[in-house]
Structure 1
Amino acid sequence: MAIYVNSEEILWRGKLWCHLVADSLDELHAFAARLGLRRTWFQSSGYPHYDVTVAVRARALKLGAIDADRETIVDRCKRLKIELRQQSQTPAAP
């Protein structure tokens, strides 16, 4: 399992932003928590990911995230989307 972050650097609201994804949702949320990200910042519609500033990206890389290209980010997001769909179809335990 791995965490991935790109260097997209999209300008929005005066800051440069990148995307943080992982091989699994559990791993993504755990890593995001280590970075101090709120779970409410997780973007589940479209491609599941966290947006992170370039400063947070640098911290993520120091903690072991992999610098990923666009193709890798999109591939992992597609997998996370499938995982989200499967979770929503699983009945909750009583």
Structure 2
Amino acid sequence: MSVYVDDMRAGYGRMVMCHMLADTDVELHAMADKIGVARRWHQKARTPYSHYDIALSKRAMAVQFGAIEITQRQSVEIIRAKRLAAAGSPLREGEQ
């Protein structure tokens, strides 16, 4: 089980944001608590798309606490796998 931060760079006011996601919401919220991100910023609750948009300063803290740095493409792949698992669909041969 892991927490991930991607390499997205989106402006939000004066901040630059990225995504933080995890294999489970329990892990996601635990990391948010560790780095000081309020639960009200949680997006897509109880779905495979569950995540936080976090500032780069919080991203650095998450990495210090063990979050894995990934690309945006990898974040899409993680969400896809979570979506398939939630639907009970096994991966087809050759898919990851």
Same fold (TM over 0.5): yes
49, 69, 72: which is aligned to 2:71? 69
Asked if the contact 1:49–1:77 (Cα under 8 Å) also holds between the matched residues in 2, the reply is no
- List gaps (5 residues or longer) in structure 2: 88-96
Q: Report the CA distance between 1:72 and its aligned residue.
A: 2.0
* Structure 1: 4+ residue segments shifted above 3 A: none
Asked if the contact 1:10–1:17 (Cα under 8 Å) also holds between the matched residues in 2, the reply is yes
1:59 and 2:61 are equivalent in the alignment: yes
- List gaps (5 residues or longer) in structure 1: 86-94
Percent identity, aligned pairs only, is 33
Q: Which has the higher helix share?
A: 1
Equivalenced residue count is 84
Q: Report the CA distance between 1:14 and its aligned residue.
A: 1.7
CA-based RMSD: 2.3
* TM-score (norm. length: structure 2): 0.75
* TM-score (norm. length: structure 1): 0.76
